[in-house]
Each structure stands twice: as structure tokens, then as C-alpha cells.
Amino acid sequence: MQQPPIADYGFLSDCRSGALVSRDGSVDWWCPGRFDGPAVLSRLLDADAGHWRLAPTVASRVERAYRPGTLVLRTVHHTAQGRVAVTDALAAEPGARGHELGRNSPAVLLRVVEGLAGRVPMRLDLAPRPEYGLLTPYLHEQPDGSVLAAAGPVTLALRGGAGPLRVTGDRIRQDFTVAAGEVVAFDLAYAPTYGPPPTRLDPVAALADTTAAWEAFRETHRYDGHYADLVRHSATVLTGLTYAPSGAVAAASTTSLPERIGGDLNYDYRYCWLRDFAGTMRAFWVAACPEEADRLFAWAARSIGRVGAGPVPVLFGLEGERDLTEYDCGHLRGYADSRPVRIGNAAWRQRQLDVPGEVVLAVWRFHDYLGETFDTELREMVVGLAEQVAATWRLPDQGMWETRGAPRHHLSSKVFCWVALDRAVRLAPRLGGRADPVRWAAIRDEIRATVLREGFHDRVGAYTGWFGSMDLDASALLLPLVGFLPADDPRMRATIAAVERELGAGDGLVRRWPTDPAGFLVCSFWLVECLVLAGEPERGRALFERAVTHVNDVGLLSEQVDPVTGAQLGNTPQALSHIGLISAAWRLTEPGTA
């Protein structure tokens, strides 16, 4: 089986878990317990690892869109026999509205078929394969016409349809015809085997309620600047990547979608990186509402815990788990034969010195919402991060791109060490007696002097990726975005020009470094911001409008784009790409706002 392009997938979310559904009507990825839990449908990573297809049995032309303000996906199939719509969603808890969305989601996948014209022959084909395809469940036809699938720790119940559902070998199938005005609805509910049975819902009523829940949440997204539709939709995607019980934001809903087809740079992104968390907070500040800042920063403080001598953790499980030991799912062939398929992420052990600065910067941006005096945990977190930076900024690290080679003195890491202490000095009146702004300011100034002396390479004529390196790195674009240097500083202008000239890959794309095979989308948006700050807003606007042509037909961005084919690459939807879009649109709207 040839797997669909990554851009063919739409994203469903109940703010606890995520699913991906292809243009041809196949749900090829669903982790029903939570985003980073085991998948029960994994055809995204192996043809035999489980799917649920619901589509016409005849050729069709597809149009699809989210219902406005939601992650409820409506796909219309145009066939020679007529037209039919399939609407897909992960069910919200009945009656949930606004910020209640996802707190107690029932783990039910809804699929509602509606006849629009003529008579269209349809087929349901469900092959559940829990534990990333390791388990083939027993399938039991029930007296009420439903089917129960049970294997290991997983129980699934498929209900609905045009008559009783039938088991055929190791899968469930049903053929039926939908005429104009008819509705045929299904729900697939998950539950742990040794607990209460799967929730039973009326799928039509549940779909309406879920749509209303998303629409209520959308009302909190009050952005009215440039590119409002793109920004609001990106904010909805970020909301969909948020694990509501804790407030953690998954970097993506998938694991091991490759940076290069057939390559081995395939990583599990279903966890919460503090870097992405901080960026998401800024994106919500721009595009949504700050009302939950207290809860989200409480998650960060409790996940980090008391800051000690060891590196500040880079990423966490969605409930703050620290140990994310990585292993190879050797039984899976990988997306388009791109191996390995990884579960877990070894970056949790890395030292990345930019992370404290990302978090303290987020606190600074939200300080007006956090009170004149911070609570104990938030205060201790900021002081602890500042003290660790003061003690460790001279060390080499793995950098924000999480290289797995030897540590280096990465430019962006040193700059964010400066950010951590600079913002901690500004926050000192709210940090209590342990704050040491005089010492922090002295170290901050020493870091700045070191970066200015060591970070610029005279032969290259630009700030480069690490001290002494001749290799450009797009992360140098962050210097003006965090206030380290103005964009019109002569050396910064030269760096922006060099990145645009040497790392630009055409069609609005920017690579991370010279040998990077694909455009890394957030780098394009960083360049947009730099051009605006350098006094070239029209060039920034033109670049933004080229970059956003890479959204798929339902407004989703993955991590990267192949500059030759235009194909999306990497895990999807990617929080960092949507964060970059929101930030760049805001910069074009309010050039002088930090």
C-alpha cells in the first residue's frame, strides 16, 4: 500500500488525544488514552497496524473543511452516483464548553454519514490493532448489532450503522447505501479493559454537542489583526494539541514521521517541550486569552520541580513525567519505509541551555496576569532557573536543534542564557528575598559581551551556529526577536541577509543550516519577523504569504517542507510551525510589540 502524503491528513482532537484522517476517509492514527499513549490505529506507520476507513466504494472527488472555529472535519465526496458527506470528530464530554473542553473527554471517535444527493454506495472497514499494531483483538458481535474488540489492556466498541455490524476475519465491515437526506452514524469508543465499559453516545447528538463545545472555545480567540483567519485557525490547532487535564502542549500529535523520506531522523514529538510551551503561551497571548496562565505556569513549575545542579529538563510527558526513555518499535515498517519508529525521546537527558530563558521569557510576557507577587512555586521556578543559568552558561550544550553529537557552544543557547537573566532582573520585585538582581545583571552583561565577541564570524560576515563555526544557522534570527540586538544593527542586518541568501530554499522556505535537506517552517516565520523589525515590512509580508501557501487544504502545517516537491515532512500538526505563523502575523500587525 502506498501511504498518503502527510499533507493528506486532517487532525481531530478532544484535547486529550489525537487522530489523523486521510482525504480518502481512513483514520490511520488514533491514540485514544492521551496524545502520547499507545495507538490503536497505526496505519500511518505500517500498512498492517490498524485503520478505520469509511468512504464510497466508487471513485470520488473530495472537498473537505473544518466547521468554522472547530476541529470537526467535514469531507464531501462527489461521485457519479451522487454526493455524500462524512463528518468526523473526537467527542467532547457532553455539555462541555469553553475551557472545560477536554477535561473529561469520553474517548469516542464519531463518524456521521449524510446523504446529500443521489444514492452513494459506502463501505466501513475497521481493523483495530492496539499497542501500535502488536495486538489483533478478539471481535465479538453483540445482540444490539454492535461489535466489541478486546485485546490486552484495550477494549473498543463500534456501534451504529445501517443494520448489524459484521465481523469478517480480523476486521469489521459493513456495506450500505446512503440516499439524499439519510444519515448513518457510527461511534468507536475506547476504554481500558479492566475498568468501566466504553462510553455509549448518540453519535449525531454528540457531534452537535462537540461542535458547540469547540465554537464556545473559539469565542475566546479574539485576535483581529492581519491574517485573522489563519491566526485563529492556528490557535485552534494549538488548543487541539493541548492536553487539557494538565495544560501541557504536545509538540505534535504523531511520532516518527520523517524529516526525509527513507531517512532515520524520525522522532517522537507527542510530548511537551518547555520551548514549545513557552512559544504556545506567547501565541495564546496574541491569538486567544490569558485566563489560564496561572494553571499553565503551575504545570511548568511542578513539572520542573526544584531546580538543582543537573540540567533543566527539556521535555516532559503530558502529566509531567520525566523519564521518556526512547525505544525502537522494530515491528513497524515506518512511514514510507522510514525507520526507525521511535517511542519516547532521548532528548529528555540533554542539556539545552536555551530552555530556562524560554520559560522565564514566557513568565515575563505574562507577568501582568500573574499578580504583583508570584505564588511560591512560580517564584521558586524563576529564581531556580536564573541561578542555574548563572552557574552553567559557560558550558557547551546540544542546542535547540537537539543534536545528538558532541556538545558545542551554541549561539542561540548563550543568547537565551542572557534572556533568562535579563528577564529575571526585570521580574526581581516579584520574586521575593532570594532574588539577586545585581549579580544576575553582572552575569547577564558578561554573557552579552561574550556573544558579541565570540558569536560573529568575520570571514562569514554573520553570526553563526556556534562559537568559531563558519556554518550559518537560522536560529541566529532569534537575536532581534528576544531583544538581544536590534534588527538594524549592522552585524545583525548582515546575518539576516546571509540567512536569506544562503539558507533560503525558495517558495518562502528557510533551512536551519546549509546541509538541511528541507525548509523548516518556523525559520521562515522568524525571517518574516526579522524583516519587519529591520524596517522592511513589505518584504516580510511577501515572505509570509509565500510561507503560508504550504498549509494543507484544511490549514495544517507539519514541521518541514521539501523545497523540490513541496511535500510536507515531519510530525504533524506541528505546534512550533503554527506558533511561528501566529507570531509572524502579529509582528506584521504590531511591528513594535515584543
Q: What DSSP assignment string belongs to 423-489?
A: HHHHHGGGS-TT--HHHHHHHHHHHHHHHHHHSEETTTTEE-SBTT-----GGGGHHHHTTSS-TTS
Mean pLDDT value across residues 497-511: 97
Q: What is the pLDDT of residue 1?
A: 67
pLDDT of residue 554: 98
- Cα–Cα distance for residue pair 302/292, rounded to 1 Å: 16
pLDDT tens string 471-490? 999 999 999 999 999 999 99
- Asked whether residue 231 is domain-assigned, the answer is no
Residue type, 568: Q
* Amino acid sitting at position 329: C
pLDDT at 291: 62
Q: DSSP string spanning 525-557?
A: HHHHHHHHHTT-HHHHHHHHHHHGGGS-TTS--
Do the domain assignments include residue 170? Answer: yes
Q: Answer with the residue of higher pLDDT: 514 or 297.
A: 514
Instruction: Please give the average per-residue pLDDT across 402-427, as a whole number.
Output: 97
Evaluate whether residue 294 is within a structural domain. Answer: no
* Distance in angstroms (rounded) separating the CA atoms of residues 200 and 148: 12
Q: Are 73 and 554 in contact (CB under 8 A)?
A: yes
User: What's 156's domain CATH number?
Assistant: 2.70.98.50
Does residue 573 have a cis peptide bond before it, meaning omega lies within 30 degrees of 0? yes
Averaged pLDDT, 551-568: 98
How many residues in the chain? 594
Q: Could you tell me the three cell numbers for 43?
A: 496505519
Mapping DSSP to helix (H, G, I), strand (E, B) and coil, where does residue 494 land? helix
Averaged pLDDT, 357-363: 95
Residue 543 lies in a domain: no
- For the chain, the average pLDDT equals 95
Do the domain assignments include residue 176?
A: yes
**b/e per residue 256-290 (b: at least 16 CB within 10 A):** bbbbbbeeeebbbbbbbbbbbbbbbbbbbbbbbbb
Alpha-carbon distance of 10 to 71, in angstroms, equals 9
pLDDT at 361: 95
Q: Which residues contact 264 (CB under 8 A, 6 or more apart)?
A: 258, 338, 339, 340
Mean pLDDT of 422-445: 97
The mean pLDDT value for 357-380 works out to 90
Question: Is 310 within a domain?
Answer: no
Nearest of 165, 166, 146 to residue 156 by alpha carbon: 146
Q: What percent of the chain has pLDDT over 90?
A: 87
* β-bridge pairing 272-273 and 568-569: unpaired
Angle between helices 411-427 and 355-365 (to 10 degrees): 40
Indicate the number of domains in the chain.
1
What is the model's pLDDT at position 9?
Answer: 98
Read off the pLDDT of each residue in 55-60 and give the average, rounded to a whole number. 98
Domain interval for residue 67: 6-218
Note whether residue 75 is domain-resident: yes
Q: Residue 373's CB: how many other CB atoms inside 10 A?
A: 12
Return all residues near 254 (Cβ < 8 A) that are at least 6 apart.
18, 20, 29, 44, 269, 270, 571, 572
Q: Is the pLDDT of residue 30 over 90?
A: yes
CB contact at 8 A, 59 and 79:
yes
* 313 neighbors 300 (Cβ within 8 angstroms): no
3-state secondary structure of 414: helix
Q: Cβ(222)–Cβ(241) under 8 Å?
A: no
**566: alpha, beta or left, given left = phi > 0 and alpha = psi -120 to 50?**
left
Q: pLDDT at residue 101 above 90?
A: no
Determine the residue type at 295.
R
- Whether 97 shows a pLDDT value over 90: the answer reads no
Q: Determine, yes or no, domain membership for 286.
A: no
